[in-house]
């Protein structure tokens, strides 16, 4: 069933080897003059990537300042620091060098520069953004898809709150994607990325009222690509084909292609359940997702077992039987087994966390914005449902 | 194998029922003030669509002029007329109401307005375009994919020359896609569209040096969608799901998604072979493509039979045998049979044309730009090859 939709992906993707050397030219193309180079760890410096970027900027006659220190689950405090720095220095273009965390931090800085007042208000749904400063990205991690998406997620350390915000105004002007830049990622981070890519598509796949036919086909092809290549990267981290396919899948998974014409933007309960885990325990996002998904799926599948059965057939090539219930459970099992084969946790204990009863209740309360919202689309979930899902996810 | 690529699809797609009523708001969003409403036949007027558009423009406080009369294989003379009219009237935004022909005519007008001198020079490769006036589209035909693509094709009546031109600067600012607007299309035109959509993907599928894994999967899913829905539309032209899936497939087929990371932009010999047929005999583009494809495929498949065998397996669910040659031929046969099942011609005689020997030689000469270029990527073709393909296509 096809629903109305808007599809808007203005990001110019420049994909391939050594494409980072084009960054100066691209920023000029998009009218940038003074650039904030925003990045995470010291590895961007060590690897020589920052030097290469700065050389390109200088060659294009661009001015710049730098701000490192972005961490996974990027912090509001650094966003504040970035906004102040950009205002002081007269920055007019934001360059994210990293993965989703760095890009999301840039998006939040961009909102803060464009709009007056406290930027957290937008993430806290108190106000609506009117625009965002222009952003470009040099991607060093295939995972979040933030390089082509409208979304960003920021963690407010005061209260361990992790909140997402979507606005087309924050979509990157360009995204430079060189798969070779991801060769040095540790396997754990690579596999977290693979899970995140899959989950961005799977969240959109499981809707209550059905999807557009072509979109289902595209989503299944994307998922099969990740399933094909992620295991190869476990043993060969410098496999160009694997890195390239995962990188492009990360962008397509989250730019709107896999939800076009679907009856809803997706379920997103697994993501929101994970945001609370990430907010409270600071785990890697992809690992949090794989740890919670099985419990979520087992809790909700009975609402429409044939959708899960179809997923197993099309994505994992499982045979269909006359027992749709059994087929659905086999699909969940296959997904769990696949995550396990990537050495990803499939429950909270494997993730290294053992939440207390009180912590579970706290996560469930925060997740519903203290009773202000329900979660999910495939099945609508309230606080008690979330408590049950967290508990079933423990081991 | 993944090659470097740029992917740039800035067109804002607004898809669904009654979306044409948003046209005024969208033109304002993209800074238009005085609009050329460019369209084809009187049916846009009769159906009430033009009135609806004009109402929306007036409500948004926009000024406009109209220019109808675009025909399939759109003519250079009308492009000249459009350029003169827009200059005289101070038009700053071009609105195409129709299918690929109208959008392509708009693109040519946009080039002519932005760049000095004779616009045909750009199509004739004498000069390179520097930009294009902004264009929006209201799509009434799922076929050419021009609403999201960088390409346009214009026919110069003097010399029966049909030439294509690609430039990112001509990509539509927005595309309004209401599948219901295509309900009244005659079956022949609908099926011509289905062939064109498939061919835009198939041209990109058959490369000499291989494609990106994920792109192959997406292309196959798109083709399977057309194969699933086109036959249904033969009997039920107002099937919303069929119309919607074909419409979205038409855009995705030609916006760059199905060639991202491939070793070349595609083969495109079938298109170029058809351009000469269309230029000389003025046939419907999709029908010309289905009439020539079989002869092209039979002529070239031996360069890499396993590629055709793979196509048959993934797109038409054909079984694989130990005989890759036989599998390749079975794939060609299945494609031919499918086109025939849509009542599309599978040779030139069925297309209603019986070219003379001299006409075939003339088409082959024009197609190679009188010896200045070869065609194809899957297999490189010269004048003698083209003559053979045209001859084998006769019946």
Residue of chain A nearest B258, judged by CA positions: A218
The H or E element that residue A85 is part of is: helix A76-89
Interface test with chain A among B2, B6, B230, by most A beta carbons within 10 Å? B2
Write out chain A residues lying below 8 Å of B172, CB-based: none
Given this structure, which CATH class describes domain A12-181?
alpha beta
Q: Do A12 and B4 touch (CB under 8 A)?
A: no
Written as six digits, the tokens of B294 are 């079989």
Q: Which chain A residue shows the shortest CA-CA distance from B240?
A: A2
Neighbouring residues of A310: CB distance < 8 A, sequence distance ≥ 6: none
Instruction: Please check whether residue A162 is in contact with residue A273, taking contact to mean a CB–CB distance below 8 angstroms.
Output: no
> Residue range B335-342: average pLDDT?
98
Q: For all residues of chain B together, what is the average pLDDT?
A: 96
8 Å CB contact of A225 and B240: no
Distance (Å, whole) CA A260 – CA B55: 29
Q: In Å, how far is A109's CA from the nearest CA of chain B?
A: 24
Q: How far from chain centre, in Å, is Cα B50? A: 24
Round to whole Å and give the CA distance between B246 and A363.
44
**CA separation for the pair B240, B140 (Å, rounded):** 14
Q: Is B220 within 8 Å of A221 when comparing Cβ atoms?
A: yes
Residues B16-38 have a mean pLDDT of 97
Domains of chain B, residue spans: 12-181, 187-392
Give B287: exposed, middle or buried? Use CB within 10 Å, 0-12, 13-18, 19+.
Answer: buried
Determine the residue of chain A that is closest to B225 in CA distance: A214
Residue A51 — pLDDT band, cuts 50, 70, 90? very high
Contact B178, B16 (CB under 8 A): yes
Residue B101 near residue B285, CB atoms below 8 Å: no
Name the class of domain A187-392: mainly alpha
Q: What is the pLDDT of residues A194-238, one digit of tens each?
A: 999 999 999 999 999 999 999 999 999 999 999 999 999 999 999
**Residue B20, number of CB atoms within 10 A of its CB:** 21
Put simply, the answer to whether A214 touches B2 (Cβ < 8 Å) is: no
φ, ψ of residue B30 in degrees (nearest 5): -100, 25
Q: What is the DSSP letter of A382?
A: -
Is A10 within 8 Å of B10 when comparing Cβ atoms? yes
- pLDDT tens digits, one per residue of B239-261: 999 999 999 999 999 999 999 99
Closest CA–CA distance from residue A112 to any residue of chain B (Å): 23
Nearest CB to A213; choose among B14, B19, B228: B228
- Read off the pLDDT band of A46 (50, 70, 90): confident
Query: Exposed, middle or buried: residue B362 (CB in 10 Å: 0-12, 13-18, 19+)?
Result: middle
**Minimal CA separation from B15 to chain A, in Å:** 5
Q: Is B248 within 8 Å of A224 when comparing Cβ atoms?
A: no
> What residues are paired with A39 via a beta bridge?
A97
List the 210-239 stretch of B: residues with Cβ below 8 A of A: 212-214, 217-218, 220-222, 224-225, 228-229
Pair type for strands B93-98 and A161-166: unpaired
Model confidence pLDDT, tens digit, residues B51-64: 999 999 999 999 99
Burial class (CB in 10 A: 0-12, 13-18, 19+), B250: buried
CB spacing of A4 vs B19 below 8 angstroms:
yes
Q: Give alpha helix (H) positions in A157-186.
A: none
C-alpha B378/C-alpha A211 separation (Å) is 35
Cβ atoms of A124 and A159 within 8 Å: the answer is no
Residue B41: what pLDDT? Answer: 81
Q: What is the mean pLDDT of residues B41-47?
A: 79
User: How far away is chain A from the Cα of B213, in angstroms, using its nearest Cα?
Assistant: 7
**Distance, CA of B63 to chain centre:** 30
Q: Say if residue A41's pLDDT is above 90.
A: no
pLDDT at site A246: 98
CB contact under 8 A, A6 and B17: no
Q: CA end-to-end span of chain A, whole Å?
A: 37
- State pTM to two decimals: 0.96
Task: Find chain A residues with C-beta within 8 A of B2's C-beta.
Answer: 179, 240-241, 244-245
Give the per-residue pLDDT at A72: 87
Confidence label for B73 from pLDDT (cuts 50, 70 and 90): confident
pLDDT in the model for residue A214? 98
Of the candidates B3, B6, B217, the beta carbon closest to that of A14 is on B6
Q: Which residues of A touch B10 (CB under 8 A)?
A: 9-10, 12
For B87, other C-beta atoms within 10 Å of its C-beta total 11
Rounded to a whole number, what is the distance in Å from the CA of A62 to chain B's nearest CA? Answer: 23
**Of A78, A90, A94, which Cα lies nearest the Cα of A37?**
A94
Residues B171-200: pLDDT tens digits? 999 999 999 999 999 999 999 999 999 999
Judge whether A261 is closer than 8 Å to chain B, CB to CB.
yes
Closest CA to B189 of B72, B60, B356, B267: B72
Give the count of Cβ contacts less than 8 A between chain A and B: 111
Give chain A's mean pLDDT. Answer: 96
**Interchain pair B245, A15: CB under 8 A:** no
pLDDT higher than threshold 80 for residue B42: no
Closest Cβ opposite residue B221 in set A7, A221, A261: A221
- Name every chain A residue with its beta carbon within 8 A of the beta carbon of B257: 257
> Under an 8 A CB cutoff, do B217 and A224 touch?
yes
Q: Model ipTM?
A: 0.96
The HSE-up count of residue A61 (CA atoms within 13 Å, CB side) is 3
């Amino acid at each position: 069933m096809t629903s109305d939709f808007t599809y808007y992906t203005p990001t110019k993707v420049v994909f391939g080897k050594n494409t980072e050397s084009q960054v100066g030219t691209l920023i000029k193309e998009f009218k940038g003059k003074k650039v904030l180079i925003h990045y995470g760890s010291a590895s961007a410096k060590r690897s020589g990537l920052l030097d290469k970027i700065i050389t390109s900027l200088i060659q294009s006659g661009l001015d710049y300042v730098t701000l490192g220190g972005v961490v996974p689950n990027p912090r509001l405090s650094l966003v504040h620091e970035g906004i102040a720095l950009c205002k002081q220095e007269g920055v007019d273009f934001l360059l994210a060098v990293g993965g989703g965390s760095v890009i999301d931090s840039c998006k939040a800085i961009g909102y803060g520069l464009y709009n007056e007042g406290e930027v957290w208000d937008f993430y806290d749904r108190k106000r609506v953004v009117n625009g965002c400063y222009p952003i470009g990205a040099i991607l060093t991690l295939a995972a979040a898809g933030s390089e082509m998406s409208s979304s960003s997620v920021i963690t407010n350390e005061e209260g361990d709150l992790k909140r997402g915000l979507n606005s087309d105004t924050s979509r990157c002007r360009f995204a430079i994607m060189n798969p070779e830049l991801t060769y040095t990622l540790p396997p754990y981070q690579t596999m977290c990325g693979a899970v995140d890519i899959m989950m961005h598509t799977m969240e959109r796949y499981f809707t209550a009222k059905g999807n557009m036919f072509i979109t289902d086909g595209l989503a299944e092809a994307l998922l099969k690509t990740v399933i094909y290549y992620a295991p190869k990267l476990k043993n060969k981290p410098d496999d160009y084909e694997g890195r390239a396919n995962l990188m492009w899948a990360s962008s397509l998974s989250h730019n709107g292609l896999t939800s076009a014409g679907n009856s809803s933007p997706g379920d997103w309960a697994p993501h929101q359940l994970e945001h609370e885990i990430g907010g409270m325990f600071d785990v890697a996002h992809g690992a949090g997702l794989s740890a919670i998904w099985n419990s979520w799926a087992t809790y909700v599948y009975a609402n429409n077992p044939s959708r899960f059965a179809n997923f197993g057939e099309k994505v994992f090539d499982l045979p269909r039987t006359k027992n749709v219930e059994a087929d659905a459970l086999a699909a969940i099992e296959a997904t769990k087994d696949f995550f396990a084969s990537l050495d990803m946790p499939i429950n909270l204990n494997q993730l290294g966390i053992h939440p207390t009863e009180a912590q579970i209740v706290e996560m469930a309360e925060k997740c519903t914005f203290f009773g202000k919202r329900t979660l999910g689309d495939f099945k609508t979930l309230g606080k008690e449902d979330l408590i049950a899902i967290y508990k079933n996810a423990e081991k």
